[in-house]
């Protein structure tokens, strides 16, 4: 059921592919049919009977017994399908030149009957009917001269066909529509299956700051706006300002490597559901989720402060520097917005810069650093 729902969603999302494919298939079929030469078919039936005029008695009984054998009927079918009968019939209707190739004659034996069905096909309905009658006449004449025991009688002469057997625009358009819908559905599902991984990779690429591998600030603010609706009072937004980086002038590749190692340290100290983003050139933001009280927030912030207070190498084998982290954080409140939360975070950041020691968790109720229960 889940797979079926996925396919239905893909079809709804890419309905225009299905519609475009179906319309294109129908339009192509209509164009091809309009350019195709019409083909008409005219039919008649011949009956094989014993020659009762010239034979009687035992010969007649023998001929009736032999007629039950399908080999006699098959022989006459081969005669009708022979190139000789076709050539003589075409001569009889006075067809010459390249026009002869457009007309064909075929014959079959009806099951469980001594009846032959002759069909002629061609682009002209009048000539097609005349050709079928001519083929029957030539066959009757040939059999009359060759086989004395049997004769062939014409049951129904060929009539002039009113509609062509090919092309059939309505039937062809219906089949094209069905084919287009099936093909369009397959293409729509394939597009959705291909697009989803690519879109996911593009979103992942656009959401990250490639210098540090942390999220971009814009992505974090979008996540914050979404989470405030459901987890507002269980969110902590923190800014980690690395004062030790302000005084460093490093080549870009060295700085990027250092930032990535700093982000790796922060990730090791935080749960996987927390988000880390590049806030500015020398700061990172941390969005902590599902924090039950201020005491737990203080524990996380202090652990992060201690991890970042350890000296790090600027590059492998290079000098050691102190990052001098300053942490400030604010607690999400009911009816908070991204703007109001960031404004309070700016106040907390100022307090953290003056504090210069441990993390500053700014409590809106007391306007003081707080570690009491929420």
Over the range 237-259, which residues count as b (16 or more CB within 10 Å of their CB) and which as e?
A: bbbbbbebbeeeebeeeebbbbb
Whether 374 maps to a domain, the answer reads: no
User: pLDDT below 70 — which residues of the chain?
Assistant: 1-2, 52-70, 196-205, 355-374
Same domain, 232 and 196: no
Same domain, 317 and 265: yes
Same domain, 193 and 225: no
Q: Which residues contact 115 (CB under 8 A, 6 or more apart)?
A: 45, 46, 47, 48, 109, 155
CATH code where residue 234 lies: 3.30.70.270
- Per DSSP, the residues of 96-162 read -GGGGGG-EEEEEEPTTSSEEEEEEEES-HHHHHHHHHHHHHHHHHHHHHH-SSEEEEEEE-----S
Looking up tokens 């005669």 gives: 79
Same domain, 330 and 273: yes
DSSP state of 292: -
Q: Which pLDDT score is estimated for 138?
A: 94
Three-state DSSP class for residue 24:
helix
Asked if residue 353 lies in contact with residue 326, where contact means CB atoms within 8 angstroms, the answer is yes
Whether 162 maps to a domain, the answer reads: no
Question: How far is 359 from 325, CA to CA, in rounded Å?
Answer: 9
Tell me the pLDDT tens digit for each residue of 12-41.
888 999 999 999 999 999 999 999 999 999
Residue ranges of E strands in the chain:
40-50, 104-109, 115-122, 150-156, 236-242, 275-280, 283-288, 312-313, 320-321, 325-331, 360-363, 368-369
Same domain, 195 and 215: no
Whether 161 maps to a domain, the answer reads: no
Q: Please work out, in degrees rounded to the nearest 5, the angle formed at the alpha carbon of residue 71 by the alpha carbons of 69 and 76.
A: 120
Q: Which pLDDT score is estimated for 370?
A: 46
Same domain, 45 and 22: no
Same domain, 280 and 347: yes
CATH code where residue 130 lies: 3.30.70.1130
Q: Which pLDDT score is estimated for 369?
A: 46
Three-state DSSP class for residue 360:
strand
Whether 353 maps to a domain, the answer reads: yes
Cβ burial, residue 310 (10 Å; 0-12/13-18/19+): exposed
Same domain, 181 and 315: no
Range of the domain at 15: 2-35+168-204
Same domain, 200 and 219: no
Gap between the terminal Cα atoms of the chain = 44
Whether 141 maps to a domain, the answer reads: yes
Same domain, 290 and 317: yes
Count of domains observed in the chain = 3
Q: Which residues contact 7 (CB under 8 A, 6 or more apart)?
A: 189
Q: Which residues contact 61 (CB under 8 A, 6 or more apart)?
A: none
Whether 275 maps to a domain, the answer reads: yes
Q: Parallel, antiparallel, or unpaired for β 360-363 and 368-369?
A: antiparallel
335: left (phi over 0), alpha (psi -120 to 50) or beta: left
Same domain, 236 and 120: no
Instruction: Report CA dihedral (43, 165, 94, 83) to the nearest 10 degrees.
Output: -70
Question: How far is 3 from 32, CA to CA, in rounded Å?
Answer: 38
Asked if residue 331 lies in contact with residue 231, where contact means CB atoms within 8 angstroms, the answer is no
CB atoms within 10 A of CB 118: 26
Question: How far is 359 from 251, CA to CA, in rounded Å?
Answer: 30
Question: How far is 105 from 214, CA to CA, in rounded Å?
Answer: 79
Same domain, 143 and 225: no
Whether 250 maps to a domain, the answer reads: yes
Q: In what order do the strands lie in the sheet with 104-109?
A: 104-109, 115-122, 40-50, 150-156
Sign of CA dihedral 245, 248, 252, 256: negative
Q: Which pLDDT score is estimated for 198?
A: 58
Question: How far is 143 from 262, CA to CA, in rounded Å?
Answer: 102
The answer, yes or no, to whether the previous bond of 108 is cis (omega within 30 of 0) is no
Looking up tokens 């030790």 gives: 244
Whether 258 maps to a domain, the answer reads: yes
């Amino acid at each position: 059921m889940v797979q079926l729902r996925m396919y239905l969603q893909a079809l709804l999302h890419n309905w225009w592919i299905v519609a475009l494919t179906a319309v294109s298939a129908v339009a192509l079929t209509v164009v091809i049919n309009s350019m195709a030469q019409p083909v008409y078919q005219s039919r008649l039936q011949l009956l094989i009977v014993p020659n009762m005029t010239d034979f009687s008695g035992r010969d007649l009984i023998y001929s009736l017994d032999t007629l039950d054998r399908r080999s006699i009927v098959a022989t006459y079918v081969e005669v009708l399908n022979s190139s000789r009968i076709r050539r003589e019939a075409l001569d009889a209707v006075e067809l010459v030149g390249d026009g002869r190739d457009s007309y064909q004659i075929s014959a079959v034996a009806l099951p469980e009957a001594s009846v032959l069905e002759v069909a002629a096909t061609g682009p002209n309905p009048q000539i097609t009917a005349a050709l079928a009658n001519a083929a029957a006449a030539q066959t009757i004449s040939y059999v009359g001269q060759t086989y004395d025991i049997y004769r062939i009688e014409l049951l129904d002469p060929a009539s002039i066909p009113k509609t062509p057997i090919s092309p059939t625009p309505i039937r062809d358009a219906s089949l094209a529509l069905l084919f287009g819908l099936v093909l369009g559905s397959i293409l729509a599902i394939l597009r959705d299956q291909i697009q989803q991984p690519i879109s996911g990779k593009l979103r992942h690429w656009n959401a990250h700051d490639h210098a540090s591998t942390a999220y971009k600030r814009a992505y974090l603010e979008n996540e914050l706006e979404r989470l405030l609706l459901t987890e507002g009072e269980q969110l902590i937004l923190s800014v980690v300002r690395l004062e030790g980086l302000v005084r460093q002038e490093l080549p870009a590749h060295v700085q990027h490597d250092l930032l990535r190692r700093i982000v790796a340290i922060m990730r090791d100290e935080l749960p996987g559901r927390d988000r880390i983003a590049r806030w500015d050139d020398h700061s990172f933001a941390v969005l902590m989720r599902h924090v039950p009280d201020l005491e737990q927030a203080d524990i996380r912030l202090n652990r992060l402060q201690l991890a970042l207070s350890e000296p790090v190498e600027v590059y492998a084998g290079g000098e050691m520097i102190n990052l001098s982290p300053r942490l400030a954080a604010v607690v999400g409140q009911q009816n908070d917005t991204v703007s109001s939360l960031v404004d309070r975070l700016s106040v907390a950041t100022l307090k953290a810069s003056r504090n210069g020691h441990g993390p500053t968790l700014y409590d809106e109720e007391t306007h003081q650093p707080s570690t009491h229960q929420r």
